[in-house]
């Protein structure tokens, strides 16, 4: 099963970020959950694009590299964080061969294998692709809240992860939802 390796790569990036993030988070307003339709680049944001995929981040976000860009066949072509280092995003991809219709189900099973506590899971449409969005907590020290979009297309699996420390989850919720809602796969 390849999905656990993709989650392992995503987790390595998340753990690297958790180890470097400041334990003191900026005090900010409480955000409301964003349930926005998938969109292109919001005004003022900048596009992050690679082979067959795009998403957008606020203009002051910086590229980071807390995990190797490749772990076996898994690639992590994009890792960024906000200017305060409090919110982290990464995209992990992996080649899929044969039947990948169960990719999303296997990915969700992998969350349990890695000890995630899942709070919410829902189907999402990304263009013409059906995927899933998951909100969960990763049992790190300190714990991290993560939101993920999981998709499969053209023999490639994609996991876009946006995360922050659990203590900053409500403040990061809208930012992460906005970024995840800009995620597009070219068909």
Domains of the chain: 3-20+48-185 (3.40.1000.10)
Three-state SS at 6: helix
* pLDDT at residue number 24: 34
Report pLDDT digits (tens) over 23-40: 333 333 222 333 444 457
C-alpha span between 47 and 54 (Å, rounded): 7
C-alpha span between 179 and 161 (Å, rounded): 10
C-alpha span between 179 and 116 (Å, rounded): 21
- Positions in the chain whose pLDDT score sits under 50: 1, 7, 17-18, 20-38
Do 17 and 32 form a contact (C-beta atoms < 8 A)?
no
Three-state SS at 1: coil
C-alpha span between 75 and 156 (Å, rounded): 11
* pLDDT at residue number 62: 93
* pLDDT at residue number 81: 93
* pLDDT at residue number 74: 86
* pLDDT at residue number 1: 46
* pLDDT at residue number 148: 96
What tokens appear for 67 in the block?
Answer: 């995990």
Do 160 and 52 form a contact (C-beta atoms < 8 A)?
no
* pLDDT at residue number 12: 52
Q: How many CA atoms lie within 13 A of 36 on its CB side?
A: 19
* pLDDT at residue number 37: 44
User: Which runs of E-coded beta strand occur in the chain?
Assistant: 46-50, 53-57, 62-63, 70-71, 74-81, 87-95, 117-126, 129-138, 144-153, 156-165, 184-185
- Sorted by sequence, the CB contacts under 8 Å of residue 101 that are 6+ apart come out as none
Which of 114, 164, 163 is closest to 139 using CA atoms?
Answer: 114
This prediction has a pTM of 0.79
């Amino acid at each position: 099963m390849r999905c656990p390796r993709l989650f392992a790569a995503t987790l390595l990036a998340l753990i690297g970020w958790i180890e470097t993030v400041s334990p003191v988070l900026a005090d900010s307003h409480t955000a409301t959950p964003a349930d926005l339709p998938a969109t292109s680049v919001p005004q003022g944001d900048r596009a992050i694009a690679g082979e067959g995929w795009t998403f957008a981040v606020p203009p002051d976000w910086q590229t980071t590299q807390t995990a190797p860009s490749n772990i076996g066949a898994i690639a992590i072509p994009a890792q960024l964080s906000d200017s305060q280092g409090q919110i982290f995003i990464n995209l992990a991809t992996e080649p899929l061969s044969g039947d990948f219709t169960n990719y999303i189900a296997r990915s969700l099973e992998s969350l349990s294998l890695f000890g995630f506590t899942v709070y919410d899971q829902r189907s999402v449409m990304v263009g013409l692709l059906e995927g899933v969005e998951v909100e969960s907590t990763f049992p790190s020290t300190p714990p991290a809240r993560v939101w993920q979009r999981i998709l499969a297309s053209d023999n490639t699996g994609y996991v876009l992860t946006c995360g922050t420390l659990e203590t900053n989850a409500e403040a990061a919720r809208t930012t992460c939802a906005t970024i995840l809602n800009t995620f597009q796969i070219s068909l």
